[in-house]
Amino acid sequence: MADQRRRNSFTGSNLPIGTLPTLPGRTGASGNLPVLPKVQDAPSAMHNHFLPALGPSIAAAQAGSVAAATASSLASTNDMLQAMKQKAMERSQAVKQRSKSVPRSAGSSRGDSGRTRQGRPQLPVRRPEKLDPEEITRNLAAKLQPLDAVTSSLLAAVEERKGGTGLPLLKATCKDFVVGRATCAASSVVTLCTDRLEYKFSHNNQGRIDMVMFTKDMQAPELDLKSLVLKFRVGKPLRHFIDAYDCTDPAHHLALTFHEKADATAFGDSLLNTCKVAVQVVNRDGGGGGGGGASGSH
């Protein structure tokens, strides 16, 4: 449109749309050029349709009719929006009235969608029972009573494994230990206490075993001063020698051999006098004897 106004300014008169003005040639010679019809592009047509005031060739009457049509269109659009708003308000009021008319049951709720949601069931409240302290004490004592025997047994086993409470009297090196059918040729220090004998026994399958033989469990102890062998029996099974030692077989016994005769003599005297074990001493110069009891466990 700006180009059109500039073209009209060259001729000094208003030319119809699509008519080009006559211009002199660049060489100075004047001539008439063929007039081509102008193709109006889409943007210009749209501008002329919606902005009639910018088109210089549109008459005032046409501009008034366009303005009236635009105002009418805006008025109908406004009426349509108002009608939609009114329908939305009526629909909302209808939903509210419908939700109020439906009664709500106990334990349920209704949401905006109209669906009824079931609430959680109410659980009965459980009140704590009153407890009798004396009854609790009696029940607890009844349940703990069987444990007393177990505790006593465990304490006795611990004391036995610790080696008792007797004081050590003598120590001597011995060899060739025997427990029933089991034998051990390795040497070990034997400790004589007031209530037991302690030494090590190298077992073929179970390794080194701590032997604790209580004098109260010894049966028929005998000390041979010629062979330097001390032997005795135990009247109960030994848990590490279940297969080797049979407490009911008279031929089974426990034995150890002293290296020195002086050690054997000192052990015999201490067993007889201090430990109060009736040990029978054989092959002693001038005779000797006595019987006694000692115990074996480990």
How far from the centroid of its chain's Cα atoms is residue 59's Cα?
90
Identify which of 40, 20, 42, 23 has the alpha carbon closest to the alpha carbon of residue 31: 23
Instruction: Tell me the pLDDT tens digit for each residue of 96-126.
Output: 887 776 555 544 555 555 566 666 777 777 7
Residue 75 domain flag: no
| Rounded Cα–Cα distance for residues 28 and 160 (Å) | 143
pLDDT band at 275 (very low <50, low <70, confident <90, very high): confident
Residue 4 domain flag: no
Residue 13 domain flag: no
Instruction: Tell me the pLDDT tens digit for each residue of 145-168.
Output: 777 777 777 776 666 665 555 678
| Rounded Cα–Cα distance for residues 212 and 137 (Å) | 41
CA dihedral 180, 181, 185, 186 (to 10 degrees): -60
Higher-scoring residue by pLDDT: 26, 241: 241
Q: Give residue 214's domain range.
A: 159-282
CATH code: domain of residue 223: 2.30.29.30
What count of other Cβ atoms lies within 10 Å of the Cβ of residue 245?
22
8-state DSSP, 37: P
| Rounded Cα–Cα distance for residues 47 and 55 (Å) | 8
Instruction: Tell me the pLDDT tens digit for each residue of 241-264.
Output: 988 999 999 999 999 999 999 999
| Rounded Cα–Cα distance for residues 218 and 235 (Å) | 8
Greatest Cα pair distance in the chain? 177
Residue 27 domain flag: no
| C-alpha pair distances (Å), 55 with each of 39, 48, 51 | 16, 6, 8
Summarize the confidence of residues 171-182 as an average pLDDT: 94
Summarize the confidence of residues 54-76 as an average pLDDT: 70
pLDDT at 131: 77
pLDDT at 59: 58
Residue 201 domain flag: yes
Domain count, the chain: 1
Residue 23 domain flag: no
The DSSP result for 110-131, as a single string, is E-TT-PEEEPPPPPPPPPPPPP
pLDDT at 60: 63
